[in-house]
Chain A
């Protein structure tokens, strides 16, 4: 039944088929787990910030911890000019983190293990950062493709390389998250399959690996959300503070 390690990534429809103008908009298990992650965030933050005690209880403490964590990350990497973008980066971080963490539960579905989800988020960030850059600096924003102190002979070559480097941002951002999540979950499933096939006698070694990998995967789930958010901050920093 669970012999295929890639089976966990299949998207299937839940409920009736909805088609609008030839586009399939049915509610799938992916949509379900996105809704679950988003509702957990909203519920958790709502309950955590409901009573503003001077001596916080555990829930409020965790909420405040997340807030200061993201606020510190933004001010460290992008400076005070990036303050207005705090809500966006905070929701992005929380959404990726919760999608990764909900995916760690047995029988659940990892939304971020699909490249289309991560690519859309990365492309949104890429387009938004580019627009912010053009709004803040006008056509001077194009100077990020022209590094200072380059000889005129090399300038066309360097500019092309810089443009490719700029365009590779959404790809590296999305592929990193997607590949880490998919590889980790496939590996967990493969080791789980070993436990079943080797039985009571030989299954203990892969079982111990499985336990260790689960710990590693929880670390990766947090780390990838952190990396995703911090790179967004870095890109935002490049757009807000043009160094040249």
Chain B
């Protein structure tokens, strides 16, 4: 006999099917491309900011080439940190 229980399980299966299709087809692809666009600038921006900070501090303290070199590498490290953070966030979303 067709009991209410039977109907419930069928509804569940149908619902999960709808959910799967929705996510895999549209949203996932969109968010993947969004993520791809995100990572590149994340890396470059930190290097640029680090270098600018180094340049400003250099003109302040009159230590011309040194701080800009140090802050360039610190900026590169910050860029990698940004990318790692963004990647962690992406993993958490999935």
Which residues of A line the B interface, CB within 8 A? 157, 160-162, 164-165, 167-169, 171-172, 175-176, 179-180, 219, 223-224, 226-227, 230-231, 234
A167 to B53, alpha carbons, bound, how many Å? 10
User: With A161-B74, A164-B49, A167-B49 in contact, is A227–B81 under 8 Å at CB?
Assistant: no
- Chain B residues positioned under 8 Å from A234 (CB to CB): 89
- Chain B residues positioned under 8 Å from A175 (CB to CB): 41, 44-45
Q: What are 25 A-B interface contacts by the 8 Å CB criterion?
A: A160-B74, A161-B81, A162-B81, A164-B71, A164-B78, A165-B79, A165-B85, A167-B49, A167-B53, A168-B45, A168-B46, A168-B48, A168-B50, A168-B75, A168-B78, A171-B45, A171-B48, A175-B41, A176-B37, A179-B41, A180-B37, A223-B33, A223-B34, A223-B37, A231-B38
Residue of A nearest to B45 (CB): A172
Instruction: Determine if A172 and B37 form an interchain contact, defined as CB atoms under 8 angstroms apart.
Output: no
Residue of A nearest to B35 (CB): A227
Tell me whether B65 is interfacial, beta carbon within 8 Å.
no
- Chain B residues positioned under 8 Å from A227 (CB to CB): 34, 37-38
Instruction: Determine if A223 and B48 form an interchain contact, defined as CB atoms under 8 angstroms apart.
Output: no
Instruction: Determine if A168 and B30 form an interchain contact, defined as CB atoms under 8 angstroms apart.
Output: no
Report A151 CB to chain B, min CB distance, Å.
16
- Chain A residues positioned under 8 Å from B50 (CB to CB): 164, 168
User: With A171-B48, A175-B45, A226-B30 in contact, is A164–B53 under 8 Å at CB?
Assistant: yes
- Chain A residues positioned under 8 Å from B58 (CB to CB): none
Q: With a 10 A CB-CB cut-off, give which of A157, A165, A169, A230 has the most chain B CB atoms.
A: A165
Tell me whether B69 is interfacial, beta carbon within 8 Å.
no
Report how many residues on chain B are interfacial, defined by Cβ distance under 8 Å. 24
Instruction: Determine if B41 and A172 form an interchain contact, defined as CB atoms under 8 angstroms apart.
Output: yes
A176 to B82, alpha carbons, bound, how many Å? 14
- Chain B residues positioned under 8 Å from A160 (CB to CB): 74
Report A125 CB to chain B, min CB distance, Å.
14
Residue of B nearest to A169 (CB): B45
User: With A161-B77, A162-B78, A165-B81 in contact, is A176–B38 under 8 Å at CB?
Assistant: yes
Report A242 CB to chain B, min CB distance, Å.
15
- Chain B residues positioned under 8 Å from A161 (CB to CB): 74, 77-78, 81
- Chain B residues positioned under 8 Å from A172 (CB to CB): 41-42, 44-46, 82
Q: With a 10 A CB-CB cut-off, give which of B46, B48, B79 has the most chain A CB atoms.
A: B46
Residue of A nearest to B73 (CB): A161
| A-B complex: 5 closest residue pairs judged by Cβ atoms | A172-B45, A164-B78, A168-B46, A171-B45, A165-B78
- Chain A residues positioned under 8 Å from B74 (CB to CB): 157, 160-161, 164
Residue of B nearest to A160 (CB): B74
For the complex with contacts A167-B49, A172-B82, A176-B38, 19 further pairs of A-B residues with Cβ separation under 8 Å are: A157-B74, A160-B74, A161-B81, A162-B81, A164-B71, A165-B85, A167-B53, A168-B42, A168-B46, A168-B48, A168-B82, A171-B45, A171-B48, A172-B44, A175-B45, A176-B41, A223-B34, A226-B34, A227-B34
Q: Which residues of chain B in 1-35 are interfacial with respect to chain A, using CB atoms and an 8 Å cutoff? A: 30, 33-34
Residue of A nearest to B85 (CB): A165
